[in-house]
Structure 1
Amino acid sequence: MPTSVALTTHLLVQLAVVLGACRLAGALLGRLGQPQVVADMIAGFALGPLALGLLAPPVQQAIFPRELELAGATVAHPSAQILHVLGQLGATLFMFLVGLSFDSGGAIRHLRTATTTAVASLAAPLVVGGLLGLALAGGALGIAASDDGWFGPHIPAWQAAWFLGLAVAVSAFPVLARILEETGATRTTVGTVSLACAATDDAVAWMMLAGLMATAGAAAHLGVLAVAGGLAYVAVLIALRPLLRRYARWATEGGDALRPAAVGAALVLLTACAATTEAIGLHAVFGAFVCGMVMPRELTAHLTGRIAPLTTTLLLPLFFASAGLRIVTDTLLDPSGWLVLAAVVLVAVLSKGGVSALVARWSGLSWSQSASVGALLNARGMMELVLIDVALRAGLIGPKLYTVLALMTMVTTFAAAPVFALTRRRWPASPASAAPVAVERVQAAPAGTS
């Protein structure tokens, strides 16, 4: 067993490699119009079996060992566990930032377009993705789902359908906000509608996933307790909002500056919330997300400014690296893996991006504006990776489906920025499309996250 000194040295080497790869990828992909967070995701995947493991297996195993022989048994390597835990901390802080950035104002300002597009961009993937999940779980594609690493053992078809529908329904709200911010399109109609749709879809999808995770692989009474505990948790946080408003007034008594102790208090609440939902079987990310949603809005910019830099520059790259290590390259050597990957990508693009674009067009936007909305909502980024990580740890999906969904995430997220840039050139020059609209909170989105 490695000593604590050896593990510390190993972790520092991993940090240097991961952060260096992210900076290099950012410099290269930035020329293609990709935000840094997309480069971080690509770099994290490349450090795993998908690239470095194929090109230089001994180097990849030396830097990122997955297993250790101990007393004649194979166990998880401590360095892999440390990397995973730090990545989970990054995911928890990220979901808190996403909750902080939730904005209902955008939907109100463009009620008809935002509402219809949000409903369609969530409902269509849930239905079409659910049908694909049923087909995969039922062996309609000629694949033994539970016996071949697609879904966990004894997962019923309805849970498989529910999860796959959610997996193609989520959007990368913060990466979407980052693309809009870097292109100066945040305050346009397209920007406001896209942000409102993505925030609404993700909030609903995460609540639905919480219900699914509460019952996946658990006894009936445990599922009921998890759901009841989750509802009680949300109710308690809502009841605490008057106290949180008093906390906000105390935290900003000095004017524009935030009291130093206020950030520490927010982190205490965040970690307590995450630990609570983890203990009741709903996972820490749900607690962090809801905690961010109920925080007073006047604290959004302050807390984001303090928490986001370390989260996005240090912890999230570690999450991406940990996620990349779970890729199973055998999936791509199996013809069935390519068949499922093609089906998932096709369903994801058509049911999310395609339907979103068509409904936005029906709601009054031009074809180019509608295509921009579809391209932005079709990105999945970190939101999808957190979702499939939760499902893999819960035993809902197997390593092969994890691999397929991770690759789908990379494809759809990578395509978002160039497709948006291409369609934006064709936006009509009219006040409705190009003039800024009032957006109070989207600039408080966690810049640099996905």
Structure 2
Amino acid sequence: MESHAIAAGAAEAVTGSLLGALALILAAAYVFARLAQRARQPVVVGEIIVGIVLGPSVLGLLPGDLVDVFFPAEVRPYLQVLSQLGLVLFMFGVGYHFDSSHLRGHGRQVTVVSLSSVALPFALGAGLFCVLDPWLTASDMTVDGVLVPALFLGAAMSITAFPVLARIVSERGLQKDRIGAMSIACAAIQDFLAWAVLAVVVALAKSTGAWPLARMALASAALLLVLIYGVRPGLVWLFAPERRWSGSALIHAVLVVGVLLCAWATEAMGLHAVFGAFAFGAVVPRTSIDTTAPEVPERIEQTSLFLLPVFFIVTGLSVNLGGLGGEGLLILLAVLTVACVGKFVGAAGAARLTGATGRESVALGVLLNTRGLTELVILNVGLSLGVLDSRLFTAMVMMAVVTTVMTGPLLDRFHPGTRSVPVWSAEAAKRRRSRDLVPSQEESP
């Protein structure tokens, strides 16, 4: 009886600490998100920065060991679970809004730009790891050899933050602009390629031989076939407007259960949960849901947005700018240089060679250099796999912040007329939504 009382008391203490930590996280995330908007930056920039500020890099420099006070060791596993739940729901939204039409029907220019802006950063990233390998802390890495970490860094360098890029394009009214449309199409194609490569890297990292790797590949292929030819037609039938039982409550329950089951399935296969969440979101029939209950996916996305600040905090707790040292600063400089040169030259160079003007090529290179949240998702996968040490992880996180922050100012410089509407007032937000829904006269063809 006494042991039960002690356990109950410990659980209550952890619950209280967790609730306090969540309150601090959400309040700080809101403040920094509004500050980012006032600086005409995406909200995600403020939320990423608050994760770094509340970690060892800034809060840890103050006296009193405040990081452990606000985020004690016994609370961090629960924060990790909540962050992964938010990540899974977020990846469902990315998959749900992923338009496969971007992957077909496009001309030579989009194809060439997409492949070039994946191949060059991938090659540079893989080569960079081989150069940096002697400087990295082997005890932080659990994967033997250079191949898997090099492939991972190449895939991480190749990514473009599709959701953040889409938000930037929308806020600046570039939906009907040729460069805006091209950037969305290119980002969709290259992210598809980068995620495919990342899935291979994860499989290589987690397999212990040829048969486990083959088994993982077969299981993944089987899941995709079931989702495409079984789950999707079933959802179309179930969500049809003429079904009497079909409604928002049923659709909400089915979607949440489906995304959690698919995330669990890919995690059980040895892949990361984000792959299953993304795949399920991609096969959900949008036409059926838009007709029956269009508000349901938005509810799920709002839940993910509520939990994502926790993900940024968990990420920030692993980032320590003070621990970089002299070699770490050189690693950071090398990462930033390779990331920007690879994406910019790969995209802008290919666009220029296929007929775009100089200004259009530069603007496209700037847009496709956006990393943002998607980069952090990949980096956390790499950290869990043990293919990154703490300094390289910190450098890559800072690269994600810098490349996202620089997109807006560079776009103002090289693609004028696309300045975003200030978003800190309700009236401005209303005008922006109206503009997105009804194209202006200037945007009409």
Q: What is the CA distance between 1:107 and its match in structure 2?
A: 5.3
Aligned with 2:268 (options 233, 254, 279) = 279
Counterpart residue number, 2:189 = 200
Find the counterpart in structure 2 of residue 238 from structure 1: 228
Q: Which residue of 2 aligns with 1:71?
A: none
Q: Distance in 2 between matches of 1:165 and 1:134?
A: 11
Matched, 1:315 2:342: no
Structure 2 counterpart of 1:323, one-letter code: T
The aligned residue for residue 346 of structure 2 is 355
Q: Superposed, which structure 2 residues align to 1:209-228 within 5 Å?
A: 209-220=198-209, 221-228=211-218
2:91 to 82, 91, 95: 95
Residue equivalent to 1:37: 44
Deviations 1:340-370 (A, max 9, x none): 1111110100101232122223333332232
Q: TM-score, normalised by structure 2?
A: 0.86
Q: Which residue of 2 aligns with 1:247?
A: 238
Match of residue 55 from structure 1 = 62
Could you tell me how far apart the structure 2 residues matched to 1:394 and 1:319 are?
A: 17
Between the aligned partners of 1:303 and 1:195, the Cα distance in structure 2 is: 25
Work out the CA distance in 2 between the residues paired with 1:163 and 1:207: 11
Alignment correspondent of 2:280:
291
Inter-partner Cα distance in structure 1 for 2:188 and 2:155 = 14
Aligned-pair identity in percent equals 35
Q: Provide the C-alpha distance between the structure 1 equivalents of 2:205 and 2:417, rounded to a whole number of angstroms.
A: 46
Q: Provide the C-alpha distance between the structure 2 equivalents of 1:258 and 1:37, rounded to a whole number of angstroms.
A: 33
Partner of 1:111: 107
- 1:328 matched to 2:320? The reply is yes
Task: Sort the Cα spacing of 1:236 and 1:34 in 2 relative to 1 into closer, same or farther, 3 A.
Answer: same
Aligned positions of 1:156-175 closer than 5 A = 156-175=145-164
User: Contact 1:103/1:196 (CA < 8 Å) preserved in 2?
Assistant: no
State yes or no: 1:390 paired with 2:386.
no
Deviates more, 1:279-288 or 1:190-199: 190-199
Aligned twin of 2:330: 339
What is the rounded CA distance, in whole Å, between the counterparts of 2:444 and 2:118 in structure 1? 25
Between 165-174 and 126-135, the greater mean CA deviation after superposition: 126-135
Distance 1:423 1:248 in 2: 46
| CA–CA distance in structure 2, aligned partners of residues 317 and 409 of structure 1 | 16
Q: How many angstroms apart in 1 are the aligned matches of 2:212 and 2:320?
A: 31
1:105 is displaced (CA, Å) by 2.7
Distance (Å, rounded) in 2 between the aligned partners of 1:420 and 1:287: 34
**Once the two structures are superposed, what CA deviation does each residue of 1:99-136 show, in whole Å capped at 9, x if it has no partner?**
11212334556523322211111111111111112222
Separation in 2 of the partners of 1:370 and 1:247? 46
Matches of 2:212 and 2:104, distance apart in 1: 38
The equivalent of 1:442 in structure 2 is none
Question: 2:299 aligns to what?
Answer: 306
Give the secondary structure class of the aligned counterpart of 1:3: helix
Q: 1:170: Cα distance to partner? A: 0.5
Equivalent residue for 1:372, pick from 363, 387, 407: 363
Partner of 2:4: none
Tell whether the 8 Å contact from 1:34 to 1:417 is kept in structure 2 after alignment: yes
5+ residue gaps in structure 2? 1-6, 419-440
Given that 1:170 and 1:384 are in contact with CA atoms closer than 8 Å, whether structure 2 keeps it comes out as: yes
Q: What code does the residue aligned with 1:315 have? A: L
SS in 1 for 2:138: coil
Distance 2:156 2:251 in 1: 36
Q: Please list the CA deviations of residues 204-233 of structure 1 after superposition, one character each: whole Å capped at 9, or x if unmatched.
A: 211211111112153113223222211221
CA distance in 2 between counterparts of 1:379 and 1:422 reads 16
Q: Which amino acid aligns with 1:87?
A: S
How many residues get paired? Answer: 409
Of the three residues 397, 406, 411, the one matched with 1:415 is: 406
| Aligned residue in 1 for 2:176 | 187
Structure 1-normalised TM-score?
Answer: 0.85
Q: Could you tell me which residue of structure 2 aligns to residue 70 of structure 1?
A: none
Q: How does 1:403-442 map to 2 (within 5 A)?
A: 403-425=394-416, 436=443
Give 1:444's aligned residue.
none
**Contact map agreement 2:122 2:158 (CA 8 A) in 1:** yes
CA contact (8 A) 2:79 2:314 kept: yes
| Superimposed CA distance per residue, residues 277-308 of structure 1 (whole angstroms, 9 cap, x where no aligned partner) | 10110011111111111111323764432211
Contact 1:381 1:413 in 2 (8 A): yes
Greater Cα offset, 113-122 or 338-347: 113-122
Contact preservation (8 Å) 2:174, 2:180? yes
Residues 144-163 of structure 1: pairs in structure 2 closer than 5 A: 145=136, 147=138, 149=140, 152-163=141-152
Q: Which residues of 2 match residues 68-147 of structure 1 at below 5 A?
A: 77-106=73-102, 108=104, 110-137=106-133, 139=134, 143=135, 145=136, 147=138
Distance 1:205 1:437, change over 3 A: farther
Change beyond 3 A, Cα 1:226–1:108: closer
TM-align CA RMSD: 2.4
2:393 maps to which of 402, 418, 423: 402
Amino acid at match of 1:269: G
Q: Distance in 1 between matches of 2:167 and 2:384?
A: 29
* CA distance in structure 2 between the partners assigned to 1:190 and 1:57 by the alignment: 50
> Match of 1:4?
11
SS of residue paired to 2:370: coil
- Cα offsets for 1:117-176 (capped at 9, x unmatched): 111111111111111122223x3xxx2x35264xx2452222122111011100111011
Where structure 1 has 5 or more consecutive residues not aligned to the other structure, the ranges are 66-76, 428-433, 439-450
Corresponding letter in the other structure for 1:310 = T
